[in-house]
Structure 1
Amino acid sequence: MKLAILSRNTKLYSTRRLVEAARERRHSVRVLDPLRCYMRIDSDGFRMHYKGVEIAGYHAVIPRVGASITRYGSAVLRQFELMGTFTPNPSDAVLRARDKLRSHQMLAAQGIGLPATVFGDNPDDTADLLSMLGPPPHVIKLNEGTQGAGVMLTEKLSASKGVIEALRGLYAQFLVQEFVAEAKGADLRCFVVGGKVVAAMKRQAPKGDFRSNLHRGGRAKGVKATAAEQDVAIRAARVLGLGVAGVDLIRSARGPLVLEVNASPGLEGIEDATGVDVAGEIVDYVALRYKRIAAKRAATKA
């Protein structure tokens, strides 16, 4: 299999591990910076160049598209799709996952548990908006924040109103959610590959913080997700159309609740905590799917 990995940095742990896993399995693999890919779009077909050389013949592409380049990165990924390249995470799925409001709406519509969430635009509606949510504490999140950035906890109603006013002054898009106290600053990252949870870790927020992200100083340990937690994680990835996803859950009195579905989940924390070769699981899944697609195309031509 000829594999491309869309990533801006070959030295990043996740990118490096995917390259190692592909080479261990004797696949041809190359890392492509999506910002150096450029496209020709025409009714006669689709072409793409990379640093002056035409890109062609890739059987599969694994996107590692960061939040700062979502729009361009997803356009490059879409071009690959239009050129017949398989991807476990299609461009539209990446866009759905990156938009917290959209993904929450889609998950809730399928009956998947979430913390109660409110969203509004007009400052005149703030008081009523918060009354729809209930009393504080409140969690306020930027709509496209990652790794715990842009997530704030407010313990008083006046603080919630103040933060919302400040964010609106910056023209930022944000959500306000209930704070689930029984989670006790912990969440569960379920790593879904090809419709199954291949690894899971519990992350605990550092003292004095409520964010459990490892980039914020959280601690992680490998755990066995319950059947209910695995089911919710798998369903969440499926609803958004992702073959590879990091699904973040919290344990609550009413069952597992989805906090976020990440289309480019990091591998370092989950592999360190669990000892599972997650990169290998991803490459094996991509290779299997490509093999099936190639066989189907060959049968159609025959």
Structure 2
Amino acid sequence: MKIVVLSRKKTFYSTKMIITTAKQKGHEVIFVDPMKCNVVLGKKGLAVYYKNRKMTKVNLVLTRIGVTFTDYGLSVVRQFEIMGSKVINISRGIHKSKDKMRCLQLLAMQKIPVPRTVITREPKNLVNAVKIVGGVPVILKPLYGSQGMGVILAESIKAVESIIGTLWDLEQNILIQQYVSESKGKDIRAFVVGGQVLASMRRVAKADEFRSNIHRGGTGEKVELSEDIKKIAVNAAKVMELEIAGVDILETSNGPLVMEVNSSPGFEELEKVTGINIAEKIVDYAVSSVEKHLYE
């Protein structure tokens, strides 16, 4: 099977392991940086060129692209979809999950529990916005970003006004989100593949840090999820139209809350914690999806 792995760098752990695993299983694997592609439309048909070479007969495209991925990159993903390749994850799902507010809106619309969240651009509304989410401290988040970048814990109204005011001056839209004290420095990452939770871990922040992201120095520990949390994670991925997703969940005294859904979740720490070969599971699922499609 001819497989394209779309990613910005071949050296990223998840990208590298997927490529290695697929090759070991006998597949032809091509690494493609989407930002170096040409997308062609016209009377002669549709095409994608990579390094000036036309991509032909691609059976499967695996997207390993984060939330900072550009609209240009999404057009490359969409082109492969239009040309008939099986694409995991599709451009629509990536786009839905990329914007944190849009993601939360779609989840809330489907009755999936999310943290109390407010977005505003009116300075006079800030005090009320903080009250709505439960008062200080609050979490401030940019609409776009990953690995905990740009996420701030604001412990007073003055801090909220100062931080958001500065970011507004830089034309940044910011989410104001409830702070869940009982989950300080902890959350759950549920890794969903093909409508099932494949693996999960609890992420724990390092000392003096409220963000539990692995890239911020957090560590993972194995955790067994309840059926309720598994169902929430699977439904969240489904709402986002993602076949592969990392669903981040807060454990609260009032039940689990979905913070965000990632369309290109890393899995290095998760493999270490659980002992599951996630790269192999992804490749096997993706290949079987193509084969199933061919015989339908």
Aligned letter for 1:201? Answer: M
The correspondence of residues 69-88 of structure 1 with structure 2, limited to 5 A, is: 69-88=69-88
The correspondence of residues 203-242 of structure 1 with structure 2, limited to 5 A, is: 203-242=203-242
User: Separation in 1 of the partners of 2:223 and 2:254?
Assistant: 20
Flag as ranges the 4+ runs of structure 1 deviating above 4 A.
none
Report the counterpart of residue 54 of structure 1 in structure 2: 54
User: Separation in 2 of the partners of 1:275 and 1:197?
Assistant: 15
Report the counterpart of residue 9 of structure 1 in structure 2: 9
Report the counterpart of residue 173 of structure 2 in structure 1: 173
Deviation track 1:82-112 (CA, whole Å, cap 9, x = no partner) reads: 0001112110110111100000000001111
Residue pair 2:147, 2:215 contacting (<8 A) in 1 also:
yes
Deviation of 1:258 (Å): 0.6
C-alpha distance 193-43 of structure 1, shift in aligned 2 (>3 A): farther
Deviation track 1:223-252 (CA, whole Å, cap 9, x = no partner) reads: 222111111110000000000000011111
Deviation track 1:2-38 (CA, whole Å, cap 9, x = no partner) reads: 1110012111111110012212222211111111111
Tell me the matched-pair count.
296
Report the counterpart of residue 269 of structure 2 in structure 1: 269
Report the counterpart of residue 193 of structure 1 in structure 2: 193
Deviation track 1:181-232 (CA, whole Å, cap 9, x = no partner) reads: 1113110100000000111011101111110001111111122221111111
Structure 1 residues not aligned, in runs of 5+: 297-302
Once the two structures are aligned, what percentage of the paired residues are identical?
Answer: 38
Aligned letter for 1:52? Answer: N
Report the counterpart of residue 98 of structure 1 in structure 2: 98
Residue pair 2:183, 2:252 contacting (<8 A) in 1 also:
yes
Deviation of 1:162 (Å): 1.5
Aligned letter for 2:61? Answer: V
User: Separation in 2 of the partners of 1:205 and 1:267?
Assistant: 17
Residue pair 1:107, 1:239 contacting (<8 A) in 2 also:
yes
Aligned letter for 2:184? Answer: K
Report the counterpart of residue 300 of structure 1 in structure 2: none
User: Separation in 2 of the partners of 1:252 and 1:131?
Assistant: 19
- Normalising by structure 1, report the TM-score: 0.95
Report the counterpart of residue 39 of structure 1 in structure 2: 39
Residue pair 2:68, 2:145 contacting (<8 A) in 1 also:
no
Aligned letter for 1:31? Answer: F
Residue pair 1:140, 1:176 contacting (<8 A) in 2 also:
yes
User: Separation in 1 of the partners of 2:264 and 2:155?
Assistant: 31
Deviation of 1:156 (Å): 1.2
Report the counterpart of residue 19 of structure 2 in structure 1: 19
What secondary structure does 2:251 align onto? strand
**Higher alpha-carbon deviation: 221-230 or 257-266:** 221-230
CA RMSD of aligned residues (A): 1.3
**Higher alpha-carbon deviation: 269-278 or 126-135:** 126-135
What secondary structure does 1:113 align onto? coil
Deviation of 1:165 (Å): 0.9
Report the counterpart of residue 258 of structure 1 in structure 2: 258
Report the counterpart of residue 145 of structure 1 in structure 2: 145
User: Separation in 1 of the partners of 2:43 and 2:241?
Assistant: 27
Deviation of 1:268 (Å): 0.9
Deviation track 1:259-298 (CA, whole Å, cap 9, x = no partner) reads: 11000111211111211111111111111110111112xx
Deviation of 1:43 (Å): 5.9
**Higher alpha-carbon deviation: 118-127 or 33-42:** 118-127
Deviation track 1:124-167 (CA, whole Å, cap 9, x = no partner) reads: 33233333323111000011011000100011122112111111
Report the counterpart of residue 131 of structure 1 in structure 2: 131
User: Separation in 2 of the partners of 1:36 and 1:20?
Assistant: 22
- Normalising by structure 2, report the TM-score: 0.97
Deviation of 1:44 (Å): 5.7
Report the counterpart of residue 280 of structure 2 in structure 1: 280
What secondary structure does 2:246 align onto? strand
Aligned letter for 1:289? Answer: S
User: Separation in 2 of the partners of 1:198 and 1:117?
Assistant: 29
Deviation of 1:77 (Å): 0.3
User: Separation in 2 of the partners of 1:45 and 1:140?
Assistant: 46
Report the counterpart of residue 108 of structure 1 in structure 2: 108
Aligned letter for 1:53? Answer: R
**Higher alpha-carbon deviation: 70-79 or 104-113:** 70-79
